[in-house]
Amino acid sequence: MTALNNITPESLQDDLHYLQLLSRSFPTIADASTEIINLEAILNLPKGTEHFLTDLHGEDEAFQHVLKNASGAIKRKVNEIFGNSLRETEKKEICTLIYYPEEKLQLVKAKEKDLDDWYLITLNQLVKICQNVSSKYTRSKVRKSLPKEFSYIIQELLHETSIEPNKHAYINVIISTIISTKRADDFIIAMCNLIQRLTIDSLHIVGDIFDRGPGAHIIMDTLCNYHNFDIQWGNHDILWMGAASGNTSCMANVIRMSMRYGNMATLEDGYGINLLPLATFAMDAYANDPCTIFMPKASDEDSRYNEKTRRLIAQMHKAITVIQFKLEADIINRRPEFNMDNRKLLENIDFEKGIYMYNGKEYAMRDNNFPTIDPKNPYKLTDEEEDLVKKIQYSFQNSDKLKKHMDCLYRYGSMYTVSNSNLLFHASVPMNVDGSFKKVSINGKDYSGKKLMDKIDQLMRTAYYDDVEEDEKQFAMDYIWYVWCGPDSPSFDKSKMATFERYFLENKDIQKELKGHYYTLRDNEEACDKILNEFGVYGQHTHIINGHVPVKTIKGEQPMKANGKLLVIDGGFSKAYQPETGIAGYTLVYHSHGMQLVQHDPFQSRQEAIEEGQDIKSTTHVIEFNSQRMMVKDTDKGRELISQISDLKKLLVAYRNGLIKERVSF
């Protein structure tokens, strides 16, 4: 950091305009000096805890629980603080209270005989836990996290101790008065929420909030109100962003995915998307079609649907799938530069014979009933389909809740993020077999590596916002669809998205989606270092953090690759993947002592967690351990503060040498 005696008045001449602006925020020598002292003190606090999650896929209950228990961090805190002074059942009770205070309080009040005594014990316990989790933050930061109505009281309890004889009665009176004034419930809820908030300093979502599970909209509600988070867009998020931007192909894909997994909740309950026109159309067009291969995938949600409803979902599923193929062909025809003519597949069907022709070979079709396809012009929408697409588009573009959530996704999201020597992106960076970055042509210009990610990030925003030229916006809207399923897309990076083949063809070979070279090269430490350096990340303790490809732990796959240089933390939050992974997800925790990977067993239910204290069983693996605690000065935030301190010291010199006058008010 810059020492004051190294700063000369002459060296400040080029900075005077900036320092004049800075003086508005710190108008006196005293103000600037106080801020320097504050910032210097913050630099020497322990680093806040970062929490990394990925591939949530609408599993809102599991997500909420992992967030509430901070991947087991709160349970570890309770064990550290109370050790053998509490029984295991008592520690479980206090943990459940912290996770679900409103619900747990109702259960306690129904069975507890001496409620005032329970309040007294519990409030004292919560104060101890809160003192522990707040100890790494400044009083100012903790104060900003406090609920207004209890701010003063909580500050007093956190920063005073009953061990001090002069304060013992003072603390006890505060707690007993909270109980006697019937505010104990509200105060306990406030304390529990504060503990949750302070345990996680920042949250990183490494993509794929949407699709498969029923509660993506609930997850987004939580995130939009979260205190500090960022999102690295996954391919499923990008699909929804395309739909919200007005791309009808993306809309069709979104609906198809929802039908495939029998998930109507996010579309209908979450975003008010009107599916009645699709249902009406499907019942008419596919009235005599069993739609067997379009039955929704078996899941816990199926118990809500009777056979008649499942049949209707299957009809809707088939109807939107056929429409999707037609709409995608329109983009492919409009954008020959996408080089995706090989994905126009309806023209390869021999509708009379009921077979599919590919590279001179014939493949049997699992379904031959296509009442809305004209064999002579297979990609033309019928009049009814055109009308339906317009209604769907209107519904998506007039959903206030969807717009709110997409605004949030754009504001706090990006294609990648660099945070404290960690490079976060959802899937890949397209590469050649020799480890060089693959050149991808966009609008006639080649991009690769970081520049490719930056260009796609820019196009994603161009597609969503309205203040751009119409041609530019239309290209960006089309490109969002390419980012979802294009072979050179960093969010996909496979030879093809074999949607048609998986639905209609039995042959497994033709269904294969060949992964890009990144997925092999990421096992190589040298290749990982090359990627990190491309994004400006250097040093020994650096990592790439990905999701996207579920780690099949059940088959012996490991989330750590390239000697720990790369971490794939998609372990199967989505119930649809859990039979393949054998677990229910990974989370990554990076605190002042090091980095830990937490492996989770399946979450049973919110109800069991509340009523029976059933926490997620988690196994922690230490990836890196720091012999000395990492401080704020060692982080990205620390570097920002050091720069601010340097500027403030220049301002002090400018004041003391008369280059800038203090703004003293009377």
Judged against a pLDDT cut of 90, whether residue 132 lies above it is answered with no
What does DSSP say about strands 50-53 and 202-205: parallel, antiparallel, or unpaired? parallel
pLDDT digits (tens, 9 = 90+) for 573-631: 767 767 667 666 788 888 888 888 887 776 666 777 676 666 656 666 677 777 778 88
How distant is the alpha carbon of residue 62 from its chain centre? Answer: 13
Distance (Å, whole) CA 59 – CA 565: 28
Q: What is the DSSP letter of 58?
A: T
Distances (CA, A) of 381 to 205, 247, 251, 368, 461: 38, 16, 15, 18, 29
Task: Give the pLDDT band (50/70/90) at residue 301.
Answer: very low
Q: What is the pLDDT of residue 217?
A: 96
Q: Let me know: does 157 contact 126? Beta carbons within 8 Å.
A: no
Give the range among 46-50, 334-338, 435-439 with minimum mean pLDDT: 46-50
644 dihedral zone (left: phi>0; alpha: psi -120 to 50; beta): alpha
Distance (Å, whole) CA 29 – CA 411: 37
Distance (Å, whole) CA 645 – CA 639: 10
Among the listed residues 210, 214, 195, 185, the one whose alpha carbon sits nearest the alpha carbon of residue 67:
195
Q: What is the pLDDT of residue 165?
A: 62
Helix axes 60-69, 216-224, angle to 10 degrees: 30
Task: Give the pLDDT band (50/70/90) at residue 84.
Answer: confident
Task: Give the pLDDT band (50/70/90) at residue 127.
Answer: confident
Q: What is the pLDDT of residue 346?
A: 95
Q: Let me know: does 258 contact 267? Beta carbons within 8 Å.
A: yes
Measure the CA dihedral 165/167/169/171, to 10°.
-140
Q: Residue 123: which residues within 8 A CB-CB, separation 6 or more?
A: 175, 178, 179, 184, 187, 188, 191
Helix axes 383-397, 248-260, angle to 10 degrees: 90
pLDDT above 90 covers a percentage of the chain that reads 55
pLDDT digits (tens, 9 = 90+) for 96-111: 999 999 999 999 888 8
Q: Residue 597: which residues within 8 A CB-CB, separation 6 or more?
A: 559, 560, 567, 569, 586, 587, 588, 589, 620, 621, 623
Q: Residue 606: which residues within 8 A CB-CB, separation 6 or more?
A: 61, 64, 65, 100
Q: Where are the alpha helices (DSSP H) in 612-659?
A: 636-656
pLDDT digits (tens, 9 = 90+) for 435-486: 999 999 999 999 999 999 999 999 999 999 977 788 899 999 999 999 999 9
The two structure tokens encoding residue 139:
């009083």
What mean pLDDT is predicted for residues 21-49? 90
Q: Let me know: does 291 contact 311? Beta carbons within 8 Å.
A: yes
Q: What is the pLDDT of residue 492?
A: 94
Distance (Å, whole) CA 504 – CA 214: 26
Q: What is the pLDDT of residue 315?
A: 96
Q: What is the DSSP letter of 54?
A: -
Q: Where are the alpha helices (DSSP H) in 348-469?
A: 383-397, 400-412, 449-464
pLDDT digits (tens, 9 = 90+) for 222-253: 999 999 999 999 999 999 999 999 999 999 99
pLDDT above 70 covers a percentage of the chain that reads 92
Q: What is the pLDDT of residue 161?
A: 61
The type of residue at 144 is: K
Give the range among 71-80, 102-111, 380-389, 546-555 with minimum mean pLDDT: 546-555
Distance (Å, whole) CA 180 – CA 102: 19
What mean pLDDT is predicted for residues 534-563? 87
Distances (CA, A) of 306 to 266, 302, 313, 576: 19, 8, 11, 21
Q: Where are the alpha helices (DSSP H) in 112-149?
A: 115-134, 139-145
Q: What is the DSSP letter of 178?
A: H
Q: Let me know: does 603 contact 65? Beta carbons within 8 Å.
A: yes
Question: Can you give the three-state secondary structure of 397-421, one letter per residue?
Answer: HCCHHHHHHHHHHHHHEECEEEECC
607 vs 92, higher pLDDT: 92
Over the chain, what is the mean pLDDT? Answer: 89
Q: What is the pLDDT of residue 615?
A: 63
The type of residue at 624 is: E
DSSP state string for 3-19: -GGG--GGGGGGGHHHH
